[in-house]
Structure formats: C-alpha cells, structure tokens
Structure 1
Amino acid sequence: MAATRYRRFLKLCEEWPVEETKRGRDLGAVVRQRVAQAFREGESTQIADPATCDQMYESLVRIHTNFYKNKYPRLKDTSFTGVTVEECKLVLASVASSKVKKGLGSYQ
C-alpha cells in the first residue's frame, strides 16, 4: 500500500506548477522536498500512520486543484486596496523589478 501512496504523491508533485517568481519560497518546491524526505526509501518506505498520510495527500490535492477558490468564488478580482491580482503577483515576486516596487510603494 505504501507504493500506491508514494506514486500518488509523485504524480501530485509532477502536476504541481513551479513558481519561478518565488524562488526560495515556492510551495511546490516545499511539497517536493517534504515528499522526498517522507519517502526516502521510495516505494518500500514504511508509513507509520497511513490515515494521516492519506489526509495530508487529500489536503494537498485540495490546495493544488483550488478546491476552496472554486467552492467560494470571489465577487471581484481586487481587494480593498484596489490592487489587481497581477499587481499583487508582481509585488510578491522574489525577483520583482524596482520599477514595479516603486510604482506600488504606497501599498507595501
């Protein structure tokens, strides 16, 4: 049964996108690292608590598939600040240009 769990986690890691703009703090990279640590022996890894392992997998799948974003859609694509999703992504990017940061300086 550990082999099946291992393959499911590997498939999830393959599907999870890599966010190049968030180097060093990308959730996908952290998930890959934790899966590698948890399954050091690959398919032959012994799982101490299979129920917790399955619960973690299901939680990660919900995050990956935007389950709650789709279940509770937002009415608008902006927040109270008026900043758009694209502008937020630029500000939060690890390698954001100084021009973008200066342009949105009042929101930092």
Structure 2
Amino acid sequence: MSAHYYKRFVKLAEQWPRDRHKNRGRDVAVFIESEIERVFRKECNTLPQDSALCERRLQSFEQILKSVHRSNYPNSYKSGVFGLNLDRLREANSDDGRRMFGLRDDKKSFFSRFFRRKS
C-alpha cells in the first residue's frame, strides 16, 4: 500500500516547479522530494498504515500544486508587505539578493571568525 502512495507522491513532486534563482538547499521542490523520501523510505517501519490520512495528504498536496485555492479565492494584491512587486521580491530572495543583504548560507561560529587560518 505504501508503495502505491509513494509513487503518487513522487509523481506529484516531479511536477513542482524548480526555482532557478535559489540553490538546492533553499529550493522547495528539493525539500519536498527529500521529505517524501524521508517519510516513505526511512520511517516506513514506524508509520501507521492509515490509508485515509495518506489519501487526504495526497489530495491536499495535489490541490496546492494545481493552485485550487488560489483560483477559488483570488485577490487583487500586486505587491508584498514591503511594497515590492513579485519580480523584485524574487530578486531580493535569490541567492545573490540574500548575499547583498548579508544573509549568507555559510554561518561561521564566533571563534572561527576571529581565529581563522591565514594562508
């Protein structure tokens, strides 16, 4: 039973769009794929075999992927909380934009910043 749901989840996860502005560590599609792998492969012995719950989660994932609620409840907002349009928000949230704001992925500890090796 879990193999059937696993295949359906993987098929939906393949349809999720990739974000070319982000690295693999920050891409939602990569996170979804890794979560599916984690839940179905590594925790398969501890999962309860509740097919109704799995079916509801599968339907919810499919609704998110197809933007069902977005089309049922449209809004007229053209900018975010900072007044930026979607293109500017994507630019600010890209890896280059985050570096520009000082939000780096390579977090260094307190001691490594002061006692780094000199070459």
Same-fold call, TM > 0.5?
yes
Q: Which blocks of at least 5 consecutive residues in structure 1 are unaligned?
A: 102-108
Deviation for aligned residue 1:57: 1.5
Q: Does 1:2 align with 2:16?
A: no
Identify the residue that residue 36 of structure 1 maps to in structure 2: 37
**Structure with the bigger percentage of helix:** 1
Structure 2 gaps of 5+ residues are 102-119
**What CA deviation, in whole Å up to 9, does each residue of 1:50-77 have, x standing for no partner?**
2222222222212211222111112142
Question: In the alignment, what sits opposite 2:63?
Answer: 62
C-alpha displacement of 1:88: 0.9
Q: Radius of gyration: which is bigger?
A: 2
2:115 corresponds to: none
More RCO (CA 8 Å, sep 6+): 1
Number of aligned residue pairs? 96
> Counterparts of 1:35 and 1:81 in 2: how far apart (Å)?
34
TM-score by length of 1: 0.71
Task: State the superposition RMSD in angstroms.
Answer: 2.4
Note if 1:84 corresponds to 2:85. yes
